[in-house]
Chains A and B, each alone.
Chain A
């Protein structure tokens, strides 16, 4: 099977304006993936499915991943020659920048016909708040139907072109997207036998301390 670099080259040749890049996967598994821009997502998916060398007819898994805003340190090293004629000094300049967060949808594609895979496709949204639309790949692979609904339900990615986009695991009146990293659960605290850490902090909010005076009545916990 072709490597991700070869597939990327063929895709760029076939769709000249498309944004296709290879995302390297560190670690022993070495499952590198193709990052594809939303504009050409559907066309690229159809190409991958119908191309005779790839024939990726089986979309095994469609997942969402939530990446929060994070601080990234860029290190730029410049070589400064020593005016006195000694060895050159290497000066490192570290700049911190804020990489905005995004939601990511990862597709794992295999070929049942040619028995190869996986080819991993990724699409990223613009940000986590308003630019959360991505093309749906359900018209290409039917197996994405429920999985994209799940990503919509739990992460909030809106898939354009999905035949039936509504919540699948939570009830329809639910408002949040629970799998996001910044989801806060409703405050429903019960008794814990040995609270510690942030559970202890939560306990202190709900169970107030005893009054020093003996005559003070016990306070009811907030329901």
Chain B
């Protein structure tokens, strides 16, 4: 049998453009899959506080999140890809947020919109305020602002789409839904006598380690 020869080189963009003009589309499964799902992200109908109003404004006629593919906000977490945590997460609400996250099927993403969802925001010094939703669920995109403008939310959504397009389907960098052994259920905190138990998920978030210089 003759030698099959070296594997063909990856076509350059110019070659692909030429082929496309001839009616031949050359792409990889990864690119096609990521292109499809990043252009049709369906958020969960989940608004907590003031940022929810800006999220609604982003879905209305002036800012129109539908042109980015988020045409429908799903009321049920079983049908949603994205949870936009918009508004202050209180300790009373935190177990529900984690439950909703657990109920969402993979691939799922989380955007922390607004200062309150990122770190507790202006209400950080609070006995009922959770200092950031990333204590319990993994967050992909953080959108600062109080509240962030609808354009900021759209920018965050675009960044998420870029992130999704860049996700490799195989190998160690694959997202959780492509890794067979990855954990899918995050522990739901319980109501304690003075605080949530546990106050944070240690595998997910630790306060940054600092060492003070003597005299500081």
Question: Which A residues form the contact surface with B (CB < 8 A)?
Answer: 169-176, 178, 183, 185-186, 188-191, 203-204, 207-210, 212, 218-221, 223
Contact = CB atoms under 8 A, between A and B. Distances in A.
A207 B119 CA distance: 20
Chain B contact surface mostly: loop
A178 B195 CA distance: 12
A207 B193 contact: no
A209 B212 CA distance: 5
B120 to A, nearest CB: 9
Interface of B: 91-92, 119, 125, 127-128, 131, 191-195, 199-200, 202, 206-214, 216
B191 A174 contact: yes
B139 to A, nearest CB: 16
Contacts, number: 64
A174 to B, nearest CB: 7
Given A173-B193, A175-B193, A175-B194, A207 B127 contact: no
Contacts of B212: 203-204, 207-210
Contacts of A170: 92, 128
A219 B210 CA distance: 9
Most buried by A among B92, B194, B195, B208: B194
15 contacts: A170-B128, A171-B191, A174-B193, A174-B194, A176-B127, A176-B194, A178-B127, A178-B128, A185-B125, A186-B194, A186-B199, A208-B211, A208-B212, A209-B216, A223-B207
A161 to B, nearest CB: 28
Contacts of B125: 185
B206 A191 contact: no
